[in-house]
Amino acid sequence: MANTSRRKSDAARRANQVVRGRTVLMMVLLGIVTFLLLFWKLYDLQIRQHDTLQEKAVAQQTRSTVVTASRGTIYDRNGLPMAISATAETVFVSPYEIKTYLEESDKKAQEAAAAAAAEGKTYTPPIVRDKEYIAKGLGRILEVDPETILQRMEKTNSQYEIVKKRVDQEVADQVRRFINGEIDEEGNEITTVNAAGRTVLKEDPSKSPVKLHGVYMEPGSKRYYPYGTLAANVIGFVNGDNEGGVGLEAKYNSVLSGTAGLTVTAKNAAGSDLLYQYEQYYDAENGKNLVLTLDSNIQYYLEKGIESMTDKFDAENGATGIVMDPRSGAILAMASYPNYDPNDYGAIYDEELRSKLTSALSELEKNRSGYQSEEEYQAAVSKTTSDMVGSQWRNKCIDSTYEPGSTFKPITLATALEEGVVNMNTTFTCTGSISVPGWSKPIGCSRRTGHGTQDLKTATGNSCNPAFITMGLKIGTEEYYQYLKSFGLMEPTGVDMIGETKGIFADEKSFNSNVVSLASYAFGQTFNVTPLELIRAQAATINGGYLYTPYVVDQVLDDDGSIVSQHDATPTRQVVSAETSAKVRECLEYVVASGTGRNGQVAGYRIGGKTGTADKTGTGDVVVSFMCFAPADDPQVIMLITMDTPSRTTGTYVSGGNMVAPTASRVMGEILPYLGIEPDYTAEDLAGADATVPNVVGKTAQEAKAKLESVGFASRTVGTGDTVTDQTPAGGAIIPNNATVILYLGAEKSSDLCTVPNVVGLSASEANKALTNAGLIMKVSGATAASSGNVHAISQSVPQGTETAAGTVITVQFGDSSVLD
């Protein structure tokens, strides 16, 4: 029995040992697994998610506010600011803070009410500004729909929801007063300053105003364009995200925008700032400034001219204009019409464009039932509006092409002279048309009866198509094509602007396969160029033969005004010789003096130029244009103006010489004196040149007449006295020195206003008589040297029927209606 008992005890012992061993093994295994799991979790948190969790911790414990960098200023060449940034603020809300504050306020109010009730006391809860109050007040001040603000405050996990960006300082001050509790949601004053200088509530002077929770403002800037529409298509605008949208603002966005700064402050669990706990400030780096080649005065002259021209001739597709220094490629002015105001770039500025949009939207409304859904219709409305608004932002000087017509002839002329296939004595016989091998019909000239036999200068002045086709055929296809390349016409100009396109030309192989394209190219048809490409090539024909890269940004300046970069105006290459260029200038000066460009004359200045009237292939419409430069013997400025699809019902013959050249004359007549280019009057011109009227009041009639005659003025007297008691115009007035000054000898000078007569269509003598009889003075501009017998007034500076003071100078533009091009 004893042995049996011992054996059972050994078996039990061994069983217990097995169980203990297994238990220990399981514990070790579980410990290892648990350790591995913990290790993995720690690795995941500490290593893999370290950056993410750190960011969350920083976000929960700090508030970071972006400090917007001040965008660089854009100046014109004279230092006038054309785009500036001013202080503005962004208003935003923290829905999380607002929610937390309201919940805590409600909880405290309930606890306080319960405690007061237990003590039998009356409890008056404190003022709590809820979401509706905030939305109504901000909506009123910022002109934002309160419902939109409420929707943003529903994002209760967010601490940053923008209500409105770039708020003007005056409005921002109102928001700040609302945040500080000085005004209510209706804008009523609810605070006053007590004798101790504390701001208190009017209703209860013992209480301070209640500030809003969760409403903030952060500093920033807003872009302003002091000159409104001036050069808008060049400068562009800054969009809602403070990024350059189009134009130079977009091209140089990274240069102008600078680098934003940052303010980091500590905050508590409720999201409120912890003062004096932690704050770090990272400075913003302001953007750099641009100094342009544009001259705001020249830009104004150009825009005023093309706007008036486009309106007068009801041009369907607007107009473009470029003024450039041919000696460097610097663009002094560039305009594309219609334009817009970058201060309100989403609004359609041009009345005709607005009318087109209204018609387009009306058409969509008529067909509304044809859309499958309301969303599809609204999308069509949005696209139509967006396309129309976007069309006014385009700079057609660089992003649109057209067939140049006869303004391209200087390139053909320069090529022919350089290759030696013509000289100044070469003659051409024009019968009204010319036949070209490979083309079934003769190509006509502007004068259907022909120009007869003419030398090179006369043929250029007549803009004779057969003469230029003959030049092209003499040059040959291969050589002509190489000159097109050399003049930079096969590639974008490289101007420092955004959106430039290039011309449309036949490829070299097909161009060389026959002479038909050569013939049409020679007088500017069947290919397309941008206005900038063309004026660049034209400049090379008259500046000594040098091709320059056009540019609009001359310098980049840092915040201290130091030059960061300067444009290098080294020519790309010399295309033709100086001798060839001089001959081209001579021919083009003849165009304005005696040819198709004589409506582009400017009294006192030698002007060279070329007219153009180009068919828009396949449309029946035309583009009319005029290129001119001055002084003709030493060009310092070149200008190209184009007008797309003018009306044929204005009573003016549709051509560049009749429609565009007079505008160019007016613009050049303002640009040249402004640039300090002195006029050189002929004896005939001098008779009508401006002069200052001397003051002769107090002198005897004889002394006054002698004084006036000594400076070129005639005079007549009113009254019978011996002494001049008054005069019209007054001393110091600037008028043409062939005008008549009225001297009052004791008689009282009439204060009655004079009514301006209509002199358009009259000859110079008839117009002068009409204005003189009205008590006004005529100043002549335009085709003053033309002698065709077809010179008549085509415009006047003051409209018919205007009442103005006696002696007012009325500038009358004269034009020769006989020109063809």
Q: What is the pLDDT of residues 535-579, one digit of tens each?
A: 999 999 999 999 999 999 999 999 889 999 999 999 999 999 999
Q: What is the mean pLDDT of residues 166-172?
A: 88
Cβ distance 464 to 430 under 8 Å? yes
Query: At how many degrees (to 10) do helices 351-366 and 374-391 cross?
Result: 160
Query: How confident is residue 789, by pLDDT bands cut at 50, 70 and 90?
Result: low
Q: Specify the residue for token string 């240069």.
A: 255
CA distances from 680 to 459, 605, 690 (A): 27, 6, 13
SS3 at position 281: strand
Question: Residue 690 CA to chain centroid, in angstroms?
Answer: 35
Determine the Cα–Cα distance for residues 532 and 500; give it in Å rounded to an integer.
9
pLDDT higher than 60, residue 787 = no
For the ranges 62-76, 313-327, 331-345, 544-558, the lowest mean pLDDT is seen at 62-76
Contact present, 705 and 680 (Cβ < 8 Å): no
Region 412-433 average pLDDT: 97
pLDDT value for 659: 95
**CB crowding 232-264: b at 16 or more within 10 Å, else e:** bbbbbbbeeebebbbbbbbbbbebbbbeebeee
pLDDT at 78 over 80: yes
Q: How confident is the model at residue 609, as a pLDDT? A: 98
Within 13 Å and on the Cβ side, how many CA atoms surround 6?
3
Cβ neighbors of 310 (< 8 A, separation 6 or more) are 318, 319, 337, 338, 643
Dihedrals phi, psi of 729, to nearest 5 degrees: -70, 165
Q: ∠ CA 453-457-458 to the nearest 5 degrees?
A: 40
> What digits encode the pLDDT tens for the residues 637-683?
999 999 999 999 998 999 999 999 999 999 999 999 999 998 887 66
| For range 342-352, the mean pLDDT | 88
Which pLDDT score, from 0 to 100, does residue 780 have?
86
Q: What one-character-per-residue DSSP string does 606-667 give? A: --EEEEEEEE-TTTS-EEEEEEEEESTTS--EEEEEEEES--S-SSS-SSIIIIIHHHHHHH
Q: Which residue has the higher pLDDT, 398 or 49?
A: 398
- Looking at residue 374, its amino acid is E
HEC profile for 658-701? HHHHHHHHHHHHHHHHHCCCCCCCCHHHHCCCEEECCCCCCCEH
pLDDT at residue 585 is higher than 90: yes
Whether pLDDT at 269 is above 70:
no
Share of the chain above pLDDT 70, in %: 92
Residue 280 confidence (pLDDT) above 70: no
Give the closest residue to 523 by CA, choosing from 581, 473, 589: 473
Mean pLDDT to the nearest integer, 226-232: 96
pLDDT of residue 220: 76
pLDDT beyond 70 at 436: yes
Residue-level pLDDT at 483: 98
User: Does residue 709 surpass a pLDDT of 60?
Assistant: yes
Query: Cα–Cα distance between 245 and 264 in angstroms, integer?
Result: 30
Whole-model pTM?
0.82
The more confidently predicted of residues 712 and 402 is 402
Q: How sure is the predictor about 277, in pLDDT bands with cuts at 50, 70 and 90?
A: low
Full strand arrangement of the beta sheet holding 261-266: 62-67, 261-266, 279-282
Q: Are 716 and 742 within 8 A, CB to CB?
A: yes
Three-state DSSP state, 273: strand
Residues 392-415: tens digit of each pLDDT: 999 999 999 999 999 999 999 999
| pLDDT for the residue 116 | 87
Res 40: pLDDT: 80
- Give the C-alpha separation, 488 to 540, whole Å: 10
Q: Which amino acid is at 47?
A: I
pLDDT above 90: residue 12: no
What number is the average pLDDT over the span 25-42? 80
**Which tokens is 1 given?**
């029995």
Residue showing tokens 């309100």: 344
Q: Of 112-126, 165-179, 319-333, which range is least confident? A: 112-126
How far apart (Å, rounded) are the C-alpha atoms in residues 430 and 617?
Answer: 24
Cβ-contact 461, 596 below 8 angstroms: yes
For the residues 576-602, what does the mean pLDDT come to?
Answer: 96
Residues facing 164 on adjacent strands: 91
Pairwise CA distance, residues 197 & 208, whole Å: 12
> Does 290 have pLDDT greater than 70?
yes
Q: With a cut of 60, say whether residue 273 has pLDDT above it.
A: no
Quick check: helix, strand or coil at residue 78? coil
Task: State mean pLDDT over 18-47.
Answer: 79
Cα angle: 485, vertex 514, 621; to 5 degrees: 75
Q: Please give the pLDDT value at position 441.
A: 92
What is the rounded CA–CA span in Å between residue 261 and residue 542?
A: 51
- Six-digit token pair at 386? 């967006």
- Whether 43 shows a pLDDT value over 80: the answer reads no
Q: What is the pLDDT of residue 690?
A: 82
Higher pLDDT, 66 or 610: 610
What's the pLDDT band for 628 if we cut at 50, 70, 90? Answer: very high
How open is the CA angle 434-584-437, to the nearest 5 degrees? 20
Which residue would you say has higher pLDDT here, 477 or 64?
477
Residue 95: its pLDDT value, please? 93
**What is the pLDDT at residue 616?**
87
pLDDT tens-digit readout, 486-532: 999 999 999 999 999 999 999 999 999 999 999 999 999 999 999 99
pLDDT, averaged across the chain: 89
Q: Which of 105-109, 121-125, 725-729 has the highest mean pLDDT?
A: 725-729
d(CA 120, CA 309): 86
pLDDT of residue 166: 83
Task: Return the ∠ at Cα 299 (arms to 293 and 305), rounded to 5°.
Answer: 150
pLDDT digits (tens, 9 = 90+) for 735-767: 888 888 999 999 888 888 999 999 999 988 889
Dig out the tokens for 97 from the structure. 């803070």
The whole-number pLDDT of residue 454 equals: 97
Q: Which residues contact 787 (CB under 8 A, 6 or more apart)?
A: none
Amino acid 459: pLDDT = 97
**Whole-angstrom Cα Rg for the chain:** 40
Give the whole-angstrom CA distance, residue 467 versus residue 454.
Answer: 9
DSSP state of 189: B
Residue with tokens 């999201």: 271
